[in-house]
Structure 1
Amino acid sequence: MTFRGKWALITGASSGIGEQFARQLAKQGAHLVLVARSKSKLESLAAELRTSYGIKAEVIPKDLAEQGAPGEVYRQCKLLDLDIELLVNNAGFATHGLFDQLSGVRQHEEVMLNVAALVDMTHMFLPDMLRKSSGTVINVASTAGFQPLPYMAVYGATKAFVLSFTQALWWENRDRGIRFFALCPGATDTGFFNVVGAEEAAVGKKETPEKVVAAALRSLEEGKVFVVPGMQNYLGAQLSRFITRKQGLRLVGGMLRPRGGTGTPQNAGNPSDLAGNR
């Protein structure tokens, strides 16, 4: 499997896991479409990768949480006559605290970015891949997708959706030349927790984005459906198989309970530039 000379589109590409996908794919010779909110960060990264690896790189600044944004990204790719053969749905963010005391607007944006935008991007780019019987879709889920998360209820539910959605589409497309793959990292050393607004959400040792993305590309090469990078994260993801649902809720709820009260009512940050990487 090689991505040399092929076009890869990466959302949330300006930092963290998304930036590492861009760097590692560019090193393999892939051409890039970089999508995130921060135009200046994207342009700087694109210029660096063009110079370092001799690849082509296009920049599409867009907040994918906005209604219709995925369609605008797709249309821009068509206007540029770009044939996307690898789609990396990476953009996402989390909220932390009591559900009823967090901003309803913010949590709606969380669902729109983590779920709706990912579904829309996949639905738009998949038919072009199917016409050629060739293509790959990588969806960034999380270890959060393996069990409910008290105090991060919406985030955990969105990542459970991403994992289930990806596995289902893997089965639907397994004989059609299209590969679907879910990356399920645990705590990763990115700006993710600055947006969450609570360090207690960082359960376990933080992995580097470089290792997380390397594990994803290696597992994709091996034909796996998903990967949980790191043995500790993998074992944590399997815990729900050996304890009751109530025991799991008690354990996870104790770890994620806000230390300062009810949680951050309105998290700050630039969500479309971050990966759902917890």
Structure 2
Amino acid sequence: MTTSLITGATAGIGAAFARRLAAGGGSDGKGRGGRHDLVLVARDGVRLGDTAAELRERYGVGVEVLQADLATDDGICAVESRLRDPGRPAVDVLVNNAGFGNRGRFLDAPMSDELRMLTLHCEAVLRLTAAAAEGMRERGRGSVINVASVAAFMPRGTYAASKAWVVRFTEGAALDLRGSGIRFLALCPGFVRTEFHQRAGMDADRLPDWAWLDADKVVSAALRDLARGRVVSVPDARYKTAVALARHVPSRLFGALSTGAGRKYDPKP
């Protein structure tokens, strides 16, 4: 049985990955590969337990839970230990999904919150990817999906910078470990209907309906791109266009536009 570990697994994109993999959607994007046993990681122990019970009952898979705050060293160490534990089922698919946003512009958020964001988005992704990839390389197979954002391609404060790091790190790991049997993917969705905005205190009500993406469809696109060997996945043609535009419009102009939009809508990773 394939085992997948998902961080931020109780809501949004993380929960969509858990459902898809438990249902037998596989990691090839075509519904093949059988059901996955799961290791779910999140901060809220009660929600973890409820999510695990629902997935076990609905899909008949094994589900471990690991309560951990990945913005702390103790939380990262706990998940690293699980990934490296020779006495537990090896993790074949790692989904680094946990993340959060801060409201406002640079210097509006407390520095402590900015540093927690960097720990979660960068240090945790680095350390957990390394811990998982060690065993995957030995076995000659495995997949790592790092959830970034279309914000990675736009000048938009610490959040965007941290997601840009995720994209570049994933690309570099894929290049360095080419031929190892490990597939890497940086997933860069736009606005997704999740709890992200509410938790960050952001008002996204004014965003038009056409701009929103469905979490399950985002996961389907990610798994298709992973199966095709792509390293960067931008779901939906609308956001592919936005990324292409961001690469060609002068950064000062696009930065002004994205900052103005971000005050209202701030994108979900």
TM-score, normalization by structure 2: 0.89
Residue 17, structure 1, aligned to residue 13, structure 2: yes
**2:197 touches 2:268 (CA, 8 Å); kept in 1?**
no
1:43 aligns with 49
Residue 199, structure 1, aligned to residue 195, structure 2: no
Deviation per CA, 1:214-248: give whole Å up to 9, x if none: 11111111221121111111111111232111111
Aligned residue pairs: how many?
256
1:134 aligns with 141
2:2 aligns with 6
More relative contact order, 1 or 2 (CA 8 Å, 6+ apart): 1
Deviation per CA, 1:117-163: give whole Å up to 9, x if none: 111111112111111111110000100001211xxx11000000000
Residue 277, structure 1, aligned to residue 268, structure 2: yes
Residue identity in the other structure for 2:132: F
Residue identity in the other structure for 2:246: S
Helix, strand or coil: the match of 1:224?
A: coil
In structure 1, list runs of 5 or more residues that go unmatched: 264-275
Helix, strand or coil: the match of 2:92?
A: strand
Determine which of 111, 119, 123 is the counterpart of 1:112.
Answer: 119
* TM-superposed deviation, 1:255: 1.6
What does residue range 1-278 of structure 1 map to in structure 2 within 5 Å? Answer: 5-28=1-24, 29-77=35-83, 78=85, 81-149=88-156, 153-199=157-203, 205-257=211-263, 277-278=268-269
Residue identity in the other structure for 1:65: A
Instruction: Classify 1:201/1:147 alpha carbon distance in 2 versus 1 (closer, same or farther; 3 Å).
Output: farther
Residue identity in the other structure for 1:84: V
Deviation per CA, 1:50-77: give whole Å up to 9, x if none: 1222211100011011113222123245
**1:139 touches 1:183 (CA, 8 Å); kept in 2?**
yes
Q: 2:263 and 2:145 mapped to 1: Cα distance?
A: 31
**1:187 touches 1:203 (CA, 8 Å); kept in 2?**
no
Q: 2:171 and 2:14 mapped to 1: Cα distance?
A: 21
Instruction: Classify 1:201/1:84 alpha carbon distance in 2 versus 1 (closer, same or farther; 3 Å).
Output: farther
TM-score, normalization by structure 1: 0.87
Q: 2:204 and 2:262 mapped to 1: Cα distance?
A: 6
Q: Percent identity?
A: 36
**1:96 touches 1:196 (CA, 8 Å); kept in 2?**
yes
Instruction: Classify 1:80/1:192 alpha carbon distance in 2 versus 1 (closer, same or farther; 3 Å).
Output: farther
**1:10 touches 1:88 (CA, 8 Å); kept in 2?**
yes
Q: 2:244 and 2:207 mapped to 1: Cα distance?
A: 15
**1:115 touches 1:158 (CA, 8 Å); kept in 2?**
yes
**1:200 touches 1:256 (CA, 8 Å); kept in 2?**
no
Q: 1:167 and 1:21 mapped to 2: Cα distance?
A: 21
* TM-superposed deviation, 1:101: 2.7
Residue identity in the other structure for 2:77: G
Deviation per CA, 1:19-48: give whole Å up to 9, x if none: 000000000100100000111111111112
In structure 2, list runs of 5 or more residues that go unmatched: 25-34
**2:129 touches 2:144 (CA, 8 Å); kept in 1?**
yes
Helix, strand or coil: the match of 2:184?
A: strand
**1:201 touches 1:256 (CA, 8 Å); kept in 2?**
no
Report the more deviating stretch, 198-207 or 234-243.
Answer: 198-207
**1:184 touches 1:277 (CA, 8 Å); kept in 2?**
no
Q: 1:15 and 1:80 mapped to 2: Cα distance?
A: 29
Report the more deviating stretch, 8-17 or 250-259.
Answer: 250-259
Q: 1:187 and 1:166 mapped to 2: Cα distance?
A: 21
1:271 aligns with none
**2:103 touches 2:263 (CA, 8 Å); kept in 1?**
no
Residue identity in the other structure for 1:118: V
